[in-house]
């Protein structure tokens, strides 16, 4: 494997609830002259969530006392915090105007992934997909049934990290490719057994694709070629760390 | 920016202390027919450390009582732990056979980045470069003086993450490109001000390049084309989070 190429799919319109996302992605790939075969399609979470109708109008939200209290502490809209708490299994950290949540999926991220940017109006927020692995699986199946593939699909989002400023895109869900490549038991260049070397392939692909997406999601889907389509699995099944061995819960 | 391409540089030999790394990288780029101009060269930390002589023979190490105690707790070689402690400013977490350290540079990683794989023999370990930003800067300057460039250089390493299994490559040092793209104050697609969107460009480039390196570092250098060479800076100066705003220290 000597070359890896990421190509942004051009001209994807603003996605609306109920849109045929596989159709929009196929049309965009056609415009770029790309065959969706033998690669991995990285799709920004926001357009997946929009297509799946994961939008909440803040005018429909009544904040609980807990949401009001947290909102007052952090200088946020209590209705937004109410939505965040609804997506949250556990608050991991609070401070510096940031709420780090563990979502019901098990992701640890700011505001449980609830996002106010690039929404149809200021009063609408976007939630993460209910099951991003299933979203990815659905796209693999629909695209394959339409004569494309074999391919992998990653649903990605932009996360902050402890210890480092700045954001890097990360995989929320995936299908059609092993999320993590297990090299344990294989040798290094001198034949020593590698004990813990397990590259998180789908996270690295999401990170690379994120460089083309642009943070305003001008390019919400990117086609990646050059990584072998080996194995299968899911992000929540294979990539989330067992809480029992996690030192940062 | 519609396409991003990573190309592994072929045929880089096992690097020895004192080797002319810029020369080895140039020869490898020549073999691949690549001009090192207008892109970013991602170089695996191990070959930088080896060229800089950052090797320690465990036979030369006398473990302290503290190192012996930690080694006994974790089932490790006390001489290795002594080396790790020498690279460590602070132990961040201990448990599950893992020592998460804050290095003198400020990186938070397992074993302070001290590595036993791909070393000349079992008794030799590799330390991180003393100043990976300076290592990157030195490569930019040497390559530019030799008629290459403009280019950026990233020194990368493979880190684990909290909350997620698997490893993703991360930037330890960089030069010739802004480590973090500050989009604060620019608008999203609808013109709303983006408050905290600062993509960590060099980390995303390191992650993408890592897919080609192979965990046995068969390809310890990768050339990335397609990201604008904008700005400059350093990883330790621009990308490490202020401990005062870090919720996970």
pLDDT along chain B (249 residues), means of 10: 93 94 97 96 97 96 96 90 96 86 95 81 91 98 97 96 92 97 60 63 97 82 96 94 77
- Residues B143 and B36: their CA atoms lie apart, in Å, by 8
Domain co-membership, A70 together with A122? yes
* Interface residue of B113, B166, B248 to substitute, partner A, most A CBs within 10 Å: B166
Q: Is residue B14 part of a domain?
A: yes
- Percentage of chain A beyond pLDDT 90 is 77
Are the C-beta atoms of residues A164 and B203 closer than 8 Å to each other? Answer: yes
Are the C-beta atoms of residues A62 and A77 closer than 8 Å to each other? Answer: no
Domain co-membership, B221 together with B140? yes
- Which domain-ending residue is among A86, A101, A126? A126
Domain co-membership, B46 together with B156? yes
Please give the residue of chain A at the shortest CA–CA distance from B216: A188
- Which domain-ending residue is among A126, A160, A180? A126
Q: Is residue A246 part of a domain?
A: no
Enumerate the β-bridge partners of residue A102: A90, A108
Domain co-membership, A108 together with A203? no
Enumerate the β-bridge partners of residue B98: B95
Q: Is residue B246 part of a domain?
A: no
Q: E strands along A140-214, which residues?
A: 151-159, 168-175
Q: What angle do CA B121, B208, B44 make, to 5 degrees?
A: 25
- The string of pLDDT tens digits covering residues A153-168 is 999 999 989 899 899 9
Does the beta carbon of A137 lie under 8 angstroms from any beta carbon of chain B? no
Q: Is residue B186 part of a domain?
A: yes
Q: Is residue A245 part of a domain?
A: no
- Residues A116 and A217: their CA atoms lie apart, in Å, by 13
Report whether pLDDT(A188) > 60: no
Please report, for residues A100, B3, B223, the alpha-carbon distance to residue B198 in angstroms, rounded to integers and kept in the order given. Answer: 18, 20, 23
Does the beta carbon of A248 lie under 8 angstroms from any beta carbon of chain B? yes
Q: E strands along chain B, which residues?
A: 3-8, 39-44, 55-57, 88-95, 98-103, 108-110, 124-126, 151-159, 168-175, 221-225
Domain co-membership, A117 together with A140? no
Contacts of B152 in chain A (CB under 8 A): none
Chain B stretch 177-196, residues whose beta carbon is closer than 8 A to a beta carbon of chain A: 179-181, 183, 186-190, 192, 194, 196
What's the confidence (pLDDT) of residue A234? 96
Q: Report the gap between the CA of A181 and the closest CA in chain B (Å).
A: 8
Residue B149: CB atoms within 10 A of its CB come to: 20
Task: Give the residue among A221, A220, A105, A111 at the shortest CA–CA distance from A173.
Answer: A105
- Residues A208 and A133: their CA atoms lie apart, in Å, by 19
- Residues B102 and A170: their CA atoms lie apart, in Å, by 23
What's the confidence (pLDDT) of residue A215? 59
What's the confidence (pLDDT) of residue A197? 65
What's the confidence (pLDDT) of residue A193? 47
What's the confidence (pLDDT) of residue B218? 83
Put simply, the answer to whether B162 touches A241 (Cβ < 8 Å) is yes
Domain co-membership, B38 together with B149? yes
Determine the average pLDDT of the residues in A176-189: 74
Put simply, the answer to whether B203 touches A207 (Cβ < 8 Å) is yes
- Residues of the domain holding B116: 55-126
- The string of pLDDT tens digits covering residues A112-142 is 999 887 666 778 999 999 999 999 999 999 9
Domain co-membership, A141 together with A23? yes
- Which domain-ending residue is among B106, B126, B146? B126
Domain co-membership, B133 together with B203? yes
Domain co-membership, B144 together with B234? yes
The reply to whether the predicted model has a pTM over 0.80 is yes
Please give the residue of chain A at the shortest CA–CA distance from B195: A117
Task: Give the residue among A24, A26, A21 at the shortest CA–CA distance from A50.
Answer: A21
Q: Is residue A100 part of a domain?
A: yes
What's the confidence (pLDDT) of residue A181? 85
What's the confidence (pLDDT) of residue B116? 82
Q: Is residue A31 part of a domain?
A: yes
Q: Is residue B247 part of a domain?
A: no
Contacts of A170 in chain B (CB under 8 A): 164
CATH number at residue B221: 3.30.1330.100
What's the confidence (pLDDT) of residue A65? 96
CATH number at residue B78: 3.90.1660.10
Domain co-membership, A121 together with A134? no
What's the confidence (pLDDT) of residue B214? 79
Task: Tell me how many domains chain B contains.
Answer: 2
Please give the residue of chain A at the shortest CA–CA distance from B172: A164
Task: Give the residue among B18, B203, B122, B226 at the shortest CA–CA distance from A8.
Answer: B226
Q: Which residue has the higher pLDDT, A1 or A215?
A: A1
Domain co-membership, A13 together with A75? no
What's the confidence (pLDDT) of residue B220? 96
Domain co-membership, A39 together with A141? yes
- The string of pLDDT tens digits covering residues A107-119 is 999 999 998 876 6
What's the confidence (pLDDT) of residue B188? 55
Report whether pLDDT(A190) > 60: no
């Amino acid at each position: 494997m000597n070359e890896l190429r990421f190509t942004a799919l051009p001209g994807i319109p603003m996605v609306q609830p109920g849109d045929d996302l596989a159709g929009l992605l196929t049309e965009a790939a056609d415009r770029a002259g790309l065959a969706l075969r033998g690669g991995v399609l990285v799709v920004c979470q926001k357009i997946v969530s929009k297509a799946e109708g994961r939008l909440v109008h803040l005018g429909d939200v009544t904040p609980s006392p807990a949401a009001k209290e947290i909102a007052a502490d952090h200088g946020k809209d209590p209705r937004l915090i109410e939505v965040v708490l609804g997506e949250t299994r556990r608050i991991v950290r609070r401070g510096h105007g940031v709420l780090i949540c563990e979502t019901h999926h098990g992701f640890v991220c700011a505001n449980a992934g609830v996002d106010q940017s690039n929404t149809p109006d200021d009063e609408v927020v976007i939630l993460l997909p209910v099951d991003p692995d299933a979203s990815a699986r659905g796209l693999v199946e629909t695209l394959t049934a339409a004569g494309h593939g074999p391919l992998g699909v990653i649903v990605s989002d932009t996360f902050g990290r402890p210890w480092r400023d700045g954001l890097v895109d990360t995989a929320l869900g995936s299908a059609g490719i092993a999320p993590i490549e297990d090299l344990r038991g294989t040798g290094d260049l001198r034949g020593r057994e590698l004990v813990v070397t397990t590259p998180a392939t789908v996270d690295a692909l999401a990170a690379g694709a994120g460089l083309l997406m642009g943070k305003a999601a001008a390019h919400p889907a990117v086609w990646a070629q050059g990584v072998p389509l080996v194995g299968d699995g899911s992000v929540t099944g294979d990539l989330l760390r067992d809480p029992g061995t996690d030192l940062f819960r």
